[in-house]
Amino acid sequence: MPRVVASPLQGLHRVPLRPYEALSIIAAMPEATGSDDADVLRVREAIVRVGRLMFDRGLTDAAGGNISARIDGSRETEAATVSWWCMSPRYAAHRWHWRLPIEEVLVLDEKGSRIRGEGEPSRDVNVHRAIYDAVPAAGAIVHAHAPMCLVFAAAGRSMEPVLAAARELGTVPIVDGVDEAREVAASLAGRNADVAAFAAATLVAGHGIIVAGRDLHHAYDALERLEANARCVLMAPLLASTSLNDAAAQPVWAP
């Protein structure tokens, strides 16, 4: 019998969540338990919830974005002891609008090969795998088409921190993305200590932003901070040319 799932558009409201709603989604992530199955379930559910939060808060669009996270511990196989990780499927935004059924979330081995999951593997599997190889402290990765960060990506510009909340993330560099997996991994490789403490990010020209965090909570937190920072960098010059009182005195439209 074919699998029946709810429409991905059912109940979709593309509006920012109230702060307490955002916190409730994060807080609802189940705690890890001792068994492998529970660990896998915990990570898959976390990806579903953070993806929905990211989309609802306008931090990515229907054109793309992806999320991955390591699964705690290692797994014994006949050949070796390996680590697993989970990743959102291709078309998580375009098809599902981040209302993912949990079975769509992929469980992958160290080489990025699918162990389970009904979704189609993303084209960015190799990017995430390269980052995990280059940054041992990375517990999770978020790639987003955050609107304000996209302006920097489109312009080919790195981003300086102007907000206190973004200072610990430092200047966000940009790579041209011709060989995205290699370039992003190289950009983040020297910031393993930053990722171990919190997170680090890289912009990809014409594409978006990639954040590696010590875990999924920190990676998402860093994405929000960097999007707010980008907004302030872009909007602050509007205040330099005129005062708010002068601007308010001018008609918005005149015949």
State the average pLDDT for the chain.
84
Q: What's the mean pLDDT in 68-79?
A: 67
Helices (H) and strands (E) counted in the chain, each on its own, are 10, 10
What is 42-110 written as a DSSP string?
Answer: HHHHHHHHHHHHHHHTTSS-TT--EEEEEPSS-EE-SS-EE--EEEPPTTTTTTTTT---GGGSEEE-T
- 150 within a domain of the structure (yes/no): yes
Query: Residue 65, by phi and psi: left (phi above 0), alpha (psi -120 to 50) or beta?
Result: left
Strand partners, 76: 81
Strand partners, 87: 68, 106
User: Which residue is it, tokens 């969540």?
Assistant: 17
State pTM to two decimals: 0.80
- 254 within a domain of the structure (yes/no): no
Domain tally for the chain? Answer: 1
- 1 within a domain of the structure (yes/no): no
Q: What is the CATH number of the domain that holds 40?
A: 3.40.225.10
**CB 175 within 8 Å of CB 183:** yes
Q: What are phi and psi of 5, to 5 degrees?
A: -130, 160
Over residues 205-227, the pLDDT tens digits come to: 999 999 999 999 999 999 999 99
pLDDT beyond 70 at 24: no
At 210, list the tokens. 């990639």
- 120 within a domain of the structure (yes/no): yes
Pairing of strands 75-76, 174-175: unpaired
- 66 within a domain of the structure (yes/no): yes
- 153 within a domain of the structure (yes/no): yes
Over residues 137-174, the pLDDT tens digits come to: 999 999 999 999 999 999 999 999 999 999 999 999 99
Containing structural domain, residue 43 = 20-240
The radius of gyration computed from the CA coordinates of the chain, to the nearest angstrom, equals: 19
What's the rounded Cα separation, in Å, for the pair 96 and 60?
A: 13
- 94 within a domain of the structure (yes/no): yes
- 245 within a domain of the structure (yes/no): no
